[in-house]
Structure 1
């Protein structure tokens, strides 16, 4: 059974599986909701839990940042819509932070199973901390998984999003620890002529196959 579940997990390059669900902002047809924008779909194990509260608050506090990056946020846990609303209200009352992005009520585990968020070795009833980066064409571009007891790194989520968008826009690759404003990697030459042209360029040449430039 575990092998079968793994085979159905979406992978990088796949079109994000579509589904209908109830969320804290109303009914959602996922493919329609995300059309034309980047999307970060992320799961958390349960409402009213400490690590999840810090993570969801982190996303909420950075809502404006993601809006500016044309990126929608969609949360999920295996809880009812009533539990979600009570939790949203509880966090707002205690911290002043409002979760304005939709949170999917996945009480039947349909979406969690569809996206491989249920990992039996960790838990059969709680979704792990999965993060799916989906581009405006609906394609999954990056996947992160964290266990139940380790919170995600918001700086890395934001860095990865900007990296994907930068690579797409400028048709480049990005080196280790790349940050916005750093030099990018130019694709390796495919012909001798391109190699010679590169040697005469103003690129930062580590070698003919590794060249960097400013954007």
Structure 2
């Protein structure tokens, strides 16, 4: 069964290049992003890990932990980080889970229950382990997105989505298409006009069911 939005992530015990812990221990009281990869020492994934490393200050500003996943082992992860840091010119300070038994990949529905890693495997054997999961402090899945092996992930979009989730959670609003921090937000239909005025002050009624407002800076 797939892991759905607002369901609690499984509290798996994972081995990483930075030690062993459970996923719930890792998340703690923070937001967290788990991003998965089908194999170490692959070109697209190396650039993606590098992009995550370069954004270390942005994750910290948002109180967000990041953790990678690949179906290779810890020693490979440690060696691969040298390549990642050389490409990114930044330290890859986040842990990488060694999902050699595919437990996490299956629990997060990236691979079917019967999947296994054959001898002499290639990244194609675990091609669907290419997802981003944003997890809230409540340990619930808030967002997921999956990419093919040939398309590098846009981590500016991951940051934008994280900003939207944190804003909607904190402010009780929704965000429109292409929203960025500072843009107008949407007032939920469950909030009456009277309550909207009391909470947000002025707002614009675009349609009876679409009202927008600007949040304080």
Residue pair 1:44, 1:76 contacting (<8 A) in 2 also: yes
* Residue 154 (str. 1) matches residue 155 (str. 2): yes
- Partners of 2:178 and 2:87 in 1: how far apart? 36
TM-score (norm 1): 0.87
Residue 110 of structure 2: aligned partner:
117
Q: CA RMSD in A?
A: 2.2
- Deviation sequence 1:98-144 (CA, Å, 0-9, x none): 21101001111111111112267x94434521111100010101110
- Partners of 2:46 and 2:196 in 1: how far apart? 50
Q: Which runs of 5+ in 2 are unaligned?
A: 116-122
Residue 57 of structure 2: aligned partner:
64
SS at match of 2:186: strand
- Partners of 1:182 and 1:19 in 2: how far apart? 38
User: Which aligned pairs between 1:12-31 and structure 2 lie closer than 5 A?
Assistant: 12-31=5-24
- Partners of 1:16 and 1:198 in 2: how far apart? 33
- Partners of 1:124 and 1:68 in 2: how far apart? 36
TM-score (norm 2): 0.86
User: Which aligned pairs between 1:129-144 and structure 2 lie closer than 5 A?
Assistant: 129-144=130-145
Q: Choose the corresponding residue for 1:74, options 50, 64, 67.
A: 67
Q: Which runs of 5+ in 1 are unaligned?
A: 1-7
SS at match of 1:57: helix
SS at match of 2:93: coil
Residue 119 of structure 2: aligned partner:
none
- The 1:202/1:126 distance shift into structure 2, 3 A limit, reads closer
SS at match of 2:170: helix
Residue 5 of structure 1: aligned partner:
none
* Residue 34 (str. 1) matches residue 27 (str. 2): yes
Residue pair 2:40, 2:72 contacting (<8 A) in 1 also: yes
Residue pair 1:78, 1:127 contacting (<8 A) in 2 also: no
Residue pair 1:16, 1:138 contacting (<8 A) in 2 also: yes
Report how many aligned residue pairs link the two structures: 204
